[in-house]
Amino acid sequence: MDLRTRSRGALAVVVALGVLLTSGCSYVVIGQARSQGAPSQSVGDDALRVVGATDGPIDTLARNALADLQTFWSDTFPAVFGQQFQPLTGGYFSVDPDDVDPAAYPEGIGCGTDPRELENNAFYCSSQGVPNSDSISYDRAFLGELAAQYGEVLPQLVMAHEYGHAVQARVGYPRTSIATETQADCLAGAWTAWVADGNAEFSSVDTTDLDQLLRGYFLLRDPVGTGTGEQQAHGSYFDRVSAFQEGFDDGAEACRDNYGPDRVFTQGEFTSDTDFANRGNADPATTQQIIEDSLPEFWTRAFSEVLDAEFTPPQLEATSSPPDCAPSDVALVYCPDGGSAGLVAYDGDFAEQAYELGDFALVTGVAIPYALSARDQLDLSTDDTDALRSAVCLTGWYSAQVYNNQLRSVRISPGDIDESVQFLLEYGNDPDVLADVELTGFQLVDVFRAGFLQGAGPCDVGV
């Protein structure tokens, strides 16, 4: 993210502050993250055979997920795609690449692949005319590492993603790799919501799992600076998380309808040597200037062009200790009585921590209390959970305008919107960072996504 070095003309139409990133009409449900208790049983190998599987917990998780995925898609597929679902014919393969018994895989694994080549991977094979086509293969040691870092739900997610590719093989793939991969994430999200609602016999997902799952997606994103046209592009952190939540919120129908050629992705290539060298991050002083310039610019225009009001920028301070008007010792504060238009204050030590995630992580953090100041000027609440939900949504709206290069004072860099997701999952529900937090990380990312994709409409400011 950089300061702009040239000015842009003012926009002539209101819609410029609400541009969508998807071609379909997706309406995000901003509700409670769903959860259920653990299933009471596990599927046996006699009911669903996984070649090479052990009795260990990872193979049990994978087998349970695969059994429930077959049930979900057998039930869901006809209504969504108008035909019966045909179960996978090529089977399932579990491998520890460092401990392979070749006799267990006489024709290799999926697509006839040597099982020793599966390290740190899982894949669906759709190629016809090769051994073990229409199959899913996975490195159980790799899935074990994911589970150790991000919880047992992540191996289930990997199975759901690969099963999404099996669904695509039956109805047709999108035109590009990045659309194919993110649509599979969306299909995985639809299954996960079904599990979270208590419908699965063998798998379980609870509210904590959902936060961990989104954190785990950080490992599954493409490296920052990867172009959308790359042959194996999978999507940025935001692209993949957004796709998963789209399926979770809106079901498999959204995955079917919203992945056409007009879908826009936030992933982008570095276009300058400076961005490449800095990984898209401005230095701290420039980041401070971006905050001071871009937030007043955005809100002045938003009030004038969309909200039919006049905005007065609040006082903005980086502090070494909480201001006297702060309700508690928190890092990000909006004080209605801190000046003629209130005070937005943020702790300098915390700013350094947030900046370690990336420059736009810090910008995202400060944008939240700044949005509370905008709500105050609209005579809306600023000190309850609904206000915070709205402020995060409005921060998504602001971030979309940065992404779409609609502000004179700032230019987007690859990875910036990923940093917003990182900030919300790392700090968004920490009461030492934001007061009155009663939302999970999953919910915070969901409301940010709503504002990013749909503008002010879902943000409870009367639009």
pLDDT tens, 272-319? 556 655 566 788 999 999 999 999 999 999 999 999 999 999 999 998
CA distances from 178 to 4, 154, 350, 365 (A): 29, 20, 35, 29
- Do residues 331 and 197 both lie within one domain? no
Strands of the sheet with 91-95, listed across from one edge: 50-51, 91-95, 135-139, 122-125
Q: Are 187 and 245 in contact (CB under 8 A)?
A: no
- Do residues 183 and 77 both lie within one domain? yes
**Side chain identity at 296, as an amino acid letter?**
P
Residue 36 falls inside a structural domain? no
- Summarize the confidence of residues 225-253 as an average pLDDT: 82
Residue 268 falls inside a structural domain? no
Q: Which pLDDT value is given to residue 21? A: 42
pLDDT in tens, 148-201: 999 999 999 999 999 999 999 999 999 888 899 999 999 999 999 999 999 999
- Do residues 170 and 129 both lie within one domain? yes
User: What is the pTM (predicted TM-score) of this model?
Assistant: 0.88
Domain count, the chain: 2
- Do residues 91 and 160 both lie within one domain? yes
- β partners of residue 137: 93, 123
- Do residues 239 and 291 both lie within one domain? no
- Do residues 153 and 67 both lie within one domain? yes
Residue 28's pLDDT band (cuts 50, 70, 90): very low
- Do residues 391 and 455 both lie within one domain? yes
Residue 421's pLDDT band (cuts 50, 70, 90): very high
What distance in Å separates the CA atoms of residue 237 and residue 101, rounded to the nearest whole number?
36
Q: Which pLDDT value is given to residue 33? A: 52
CA distances from 66 to 46, 63, 172, 449 (A): 14, 5, 21, 29
- Do residues 251 and 293 both lie within one domain? no
Least confident of 7-21, 320-334, 382-396, 429-443: 7-21
- Do residues 230 and 366 both lie within one domain? no
- Do residues 189 and 327 both lie within one domain? no
Domain with 364, as residue range(s), is: 14-20+280-459
| pLDDT beyond 50 at 7 | no
- Do residues 309 and 201 both lie within one domain? no
- Do residues 308 and 209 both lie within one domain? no
- Summarize the confidence of residues 205-224 as an average pLDDT: 81
Residue 453 falls inside a structural domain? yes
What distance in Å separates the CA atoms of residue 380 and residue 349, rounded to the nearest whole number?
30
- Summarize the confidence of residues 410-434 as an average pLDDT: 88
